Structure 1
Amino acid sequence: MQNETAYKTYRIPSNVYLWEGVVNVPKLLFDPMKHPDWIPPQTAEWHANLELETGGYKYPWNSVFDEPRAEVIFADKIAACFKESTRILDVGCGHGEFTKTFSQKAKEVVGIDVNEGYIASAKAGTGNVTFLVVDADKPLPFPDDSFDVVYAKKGPWLFHKGIEEGHRVIKPGGMALGLYHCGTDGGLRSLFPGLYYPLPDNYLDGIKAKFERQLSESNLEKIELQIFEEVEYLSRPVDVLIKKCFGQKEALKKIVWQECLKNVEEIFLRHTTPRGLKVVNYHALMIGIAR
């Protein structure tokens, strides 16, 4: 009874065990974010290293998903805007894989990214899609009212308060859409303490408030916001480390593997399912109509 009470009171994670009233707390794993070689994600250095290693913004870990995936939901929202004359702008297109899915459905598709290596990869077999090296924080090289749809999948959102370029290049009545990854949990953070950190209390409420504020300041009409979960199953213990070290240099990855892999394997095997280790990805989907 004493153990049961403790469990309910302190919400002890599933990888913490109780023996005769004593809590066996798992040891903290090595924290690569405290290493001096850690590159903050989404910085210019991080993108440059990722492009050097993979040639694009590609997830290198093995996993499977419950359907529908976030990208499928987003692609369907974009496709619902199509007409025969539709012109599309993908802002922050990366290596262009997602951009090319619309090549046979729209009259014109343009992908832009500031990373030259991403664009070089994207241009391979482009068909009727145009890829350009463009810094979305600067004036865009397009005439006014050029596009019927402007979207960003993790890329820069061009409709912040005080930013005019998005409104300038989109046609009145055009659709602005954004899909943004907002973190991963689903038990991942409690299973691997140190390697991953717990999300703050009321995390999703904070995310929702952030994007609601962003949309309210965007000067778009008929705005819509969805915060939703995507269920993913990591296939192997090493995929836990690959996910954490996405975009990091090989020298740091080697250290992380040496410090963490054995413990990660033990934890992974205790908690995996027939499909893999279940994690949950949080996403924000924003939609608005240009005035």
Structure 2
Amino acid sequence: MNESLVDPRIHPDWLRPHSIEWYAQLGKLQGQYSLSWYSTISEPNAEAIFAEEVSQAVRGKNVLDIGCGHGEFTLQWSPIVKHITGLDITNDFIKTGNEANLSNVTFLTGNTKHRLPFESDEFDAAYNRRGPTSSYLDVGRVVKKGGKILGLHPGDGIAAELSEWFPNLFEPISIGTPVLENLKQRLEQGGLGHVEIETIRSMEYLHEPVDVIRMRCFGQAPSIHEWVMEKCLTEVMLIFEINAVKEGFTRHV
């Protein structure tokens, strides 16, 4: 293990990524879920494919966006949907989304680990773009029979290269396919009918050494980012220079 790289999780201000507390902090720091690092993703690009599938599924319909964040993705469908509702657990994200003040867009705060705050058969379609998989336990109730439910989620083995080349800074990835197994379990428990799961592998190229640290400290307090920069930047720059290709430092996504 590279002892010159610190483990940011030992910092007293560290919050577990994607915990409720972490999202609340990100909302207060930024008011939006906006990535802090710069990178390029190769084709096939799962985000682009998902956006195209959503555009075909939501036209003229009453739609639910699960885990909408600050609503950037939600708002782009306003011109083509009948109505779209964005649901997220983070109050500050919802406040940002509501600033758009569009007549056919609604943003609500809610926890998907509880029963979704909607009537049965309220929506024609729903999608979940990197949102909570707990929503699959109840989403089948709020979407009309035959309505499409689309999802996009990070898979297993994401960023294995980072834990290999920057040990201690990034923790080892889990063995096996726990993310996929959890998703399958949620879908089964939710009683959803016909389900198709497609795995798409792409390459993400981080542009600069500082992007490695920005990614690791995303959503954390500024004190953690400053501490990791001070402790690790020199070594990160060296590792980046040795292992990067022309496009940048590579990680699987």
* Change in 2 beyond 3 A, CA 1:208/1:135: closer
Shift of 1:156: 2.7
Corresponding position of 2:232: 260
Aligned counterpart in structure 2 of residue 137 of structure 1, from 98, 103, 113: 113
Q: What is the CA–CA distance in structure 2 between the aligned matches of 1:138 and 1:213, rounded to whole Å? A: 17
* Change in 2 beyond 3 A, CA 1:87/1:195: same
* Change in 2 beyond 3 A, CA 1:195/1:247: same
TM alignment of 1:250-289, pairs within 5 A: 250-281=222-253
Amino acid at match of 2:146: G
Aligned counterpart in structure 1 of residue 144 of structure 2, from 171, 179, 189: 171
TM-score normalized by the length of structure 1: 0.79
In the comparison of the two structures, how many residue pairs are matched? 250
Q: Deviations over 1:226-266 (max 9, x none)?
A: 23223111111011011001111011211111110000001
* Change in 2 beyond 3 A, CA 1:262/1:176: same
Corresponding position of 2:165: 191
Residue 68 of structure 2 corresponds to residue 96 of structure 1 = no
> Does the CA contact (< 8 Å) of 1:211 and 1:225 recur in 2?
no
Amino acid at match of 1:217: Q
* Change in 2 beyond 3 A, CA 1:132/1:200: closer
Residue 26 of structure 2 corresponds to residue 50 of structure 1 = yes
Structure 2 gap segments, 5+ residues each:
none
Residue 219 of structure 2 corresponds to residue 243 of structure 1 = no
SS at match of 1:137: coil
Corresponding position of 2:87: 112
* Change in 2 beyond 3 A, CA 1:186/1:260: same
> Does the CA contact (< 8 Å) of 1:186 and 1:278 recur in 2?
no
Residue 163 of structure 2 corresponds to residue 180 of structure 1 = no
> Does the CA contact (< 8 Å) of 1:51 and 1:57 recur in 2?
yes
> Does the CA contact (< 8 Å) of 2:205 and 2:250 recur in 1?
yes
> Does the CA contact (< 8 Å) of 2:209 and 2:236 recur in 1?
yes
Residue 62 of structure 2 corresponds to residue 87 of structure 1 = yes
Structure 1 stretch 121-130 or stretch 170-179: which is displaced more? 121-130
Q: What is the CA–CA distance in structure 2 between the aligned matches of 1:267 and 1:223, rounded to whole Å? A: 42
Amino acid at match of 1:132: L
> Does the CA contact (< 8 Å) of 2:4 and 2:235 recur in 1?
no
Shift of 1:166: 2.1
Q: What is the CA–CA distance in structure 2 between the aligned matches of 1:200 and 1:50, rounded to whole Å? A: 25
TM alignment of 1:55-74, pairs within 5 A: 55-74=31-50
> Does the CA contact (< 8 Å) of 2:160 and 2:172 recur in 1?
no
Q: What is the CA–CA distance in structure 2 between the aligned matches of 1:187 and 1:156, rounded to whole Å? A: 25
Corresponding position of 1:289: none
Structure 1 stretch 231-240 or stretch 138-147: which is displaced more? 138-147
Amino acid at match of 1:104: P
Which has the larger strand fraction?
1
Amino acid at match of 1:171: K
TM-score normalized by the length of structure 2: 0.90
Structure 1 stretch 149-158 or stretch 252-261: which is displaced more? 149-158
SS at match of 1:167: helix
* Change in 2 beyond 3 A, CA 1:132/1:212: closer
Q: What is the CA–CA distance in structure 1 between the aligned matches of 2:244 and 2:148, rounded to whole Å? A: 41
Larger radius of gyration: 1
Aligned counterpart in structure 1 of residue 136 of structure 2, from 152, 156, 159: 159
Which has the larger helix fraction?
2
Q: What is the CA–CA distance in structure 2 between the aligned matches of 1:126 and 1:270, rounded to whole Å? A: 49
Structure 1 gap segments, 5+ residues each:
1-24, 282-291
CA RMSD of aligned residues (A): 2.0
